[in-house]
A = this chain, B = another copy of it.
């Protein structure tokens, strides 16, 4: 058998430990699949003494990830530290400069420096692989980079953050408030002490930026993403959506047209029975619409030690086999300048929630504003107030609507004096 592929791992947290588990359990069959044994010859982590359940005494220890990255003792550098800046960035750069292929699970690094790093890898004619950076155990990077090579994509979207999906699922299933479920998720370790990165949509945005470049051959541009988190989603929204045939999910969505690209992250009403609507709990799902393969959905475990390690291992095996692809499917120098599409009609329409003073003429006034703005209503749910004159919940779902018309209408509705609070909208995606 061919000689071992020598792997250096920087970062032995959840994913790194999962990779140790995986190689310990399946080393023999992986050698058959890779055509050669995979051997860990260098490691670097924060703590040298922490018990990770594996004997690491035979593996060379590095205190400095950049030293490991450029070491003569490794053939591949696996970066599992995370973070968009140093030490991850300098270590990955050092490995590439030294001509060593890189495998990384670091979505923040790629979202911010993906184009640059992909070009650097191309210059050296080596791999920069990142299956684990998007949707954990779901092979969406390989699928878009390789399997869909004969396609032009029109749209890619998905549920890319398990924490958010867990919270929204629990709220729906158990009829609990956002704050209540978030607190429980934190206690269970499903959400961070500071949950902003997840629930604010930023993690989803990092992953979406990578998918966008894979889908459309554009430079990575996370700054161009409109981001809205799930903090404002109420149990009432979920119940109203349910009554009108929808579920609420946090989606990352990227759409391309001749005018440019639109990237957005926001809570979304998705019709029940449509692809991602049944993706519940910590599961992730990604849908790609493309011209030859048609609509394709992948669903699976988007995070966790073992699923993510499975993705990292897949990237390592590709390198062991000498199977090289440009990071984003086409050579880095061919990635086009990112061009934002002008805002236009939102094809899917909107869900609008209003708190209405219960008095004669209120509904008529709202209806007139919408008609004036040429917004067409698909369905309405009004819940009676507890007593006459109190505040009524008034929700509606629109057909395809111009973004500008919707904003105009909401401003008028707010100033008309019939609503007790700021109107809220959630976009709908019909797949």
Contact = CB atoms under 8 A, between A and B. Distances in A.
Interface stretch (A42-50, A186-194, A317-325): A317-325
A306 B294 contact: yes
A380 interface: no
Identical chains bound together, number:
2
Given A278-B278, A293-B306, A321 B321 contact: no
A297 B139 CA distance: 10
A307 interface: yes
A196 B126 CA distance: 50
Interface stretch (A112-120, A326-334, A362-370): A326-334
Contacts of A151: 26, 310
A29 B152 contact: yes
B300 A294 contact: yes
A122 to B, nearest CB: 11
Nearest to A274: B278
Interface stretch (A63-71, A142-150, A198-206): A142-150
Interface SS of chain A: helix, strand, loop or mixed? mixed
Interface string A148-176: 11111000000000000000000000000
B298 A137 contact: no
A29 B330 CA distance: 8
A307 B292 contact: yes
A296 interface: yes
Interface stretch (A30-38, A79-87, A260-268, A344-352): A30-38
Nearest to A18: B292
Contact of A150 (B294, B313, B322, B331): B313
Contact of A30 (B131, B149, B293, B296): B149
Contacts of A300: 293-297
Contacts of A396: none
Contacts of A142: 142-143, 146-147
A297 B294 contact: no
A301 B29 CA distance: 31
18 contacts: A29-B330, A33-B326, A34-B149, A139-B148, A139-B296, A142-B147, A143-B147, A147-B314, A148-B310, A149-B314, A150-B313, A273-B278, A291-B306, A292-B306, A293-B310, A294-B301, A322-B323, A323-B324
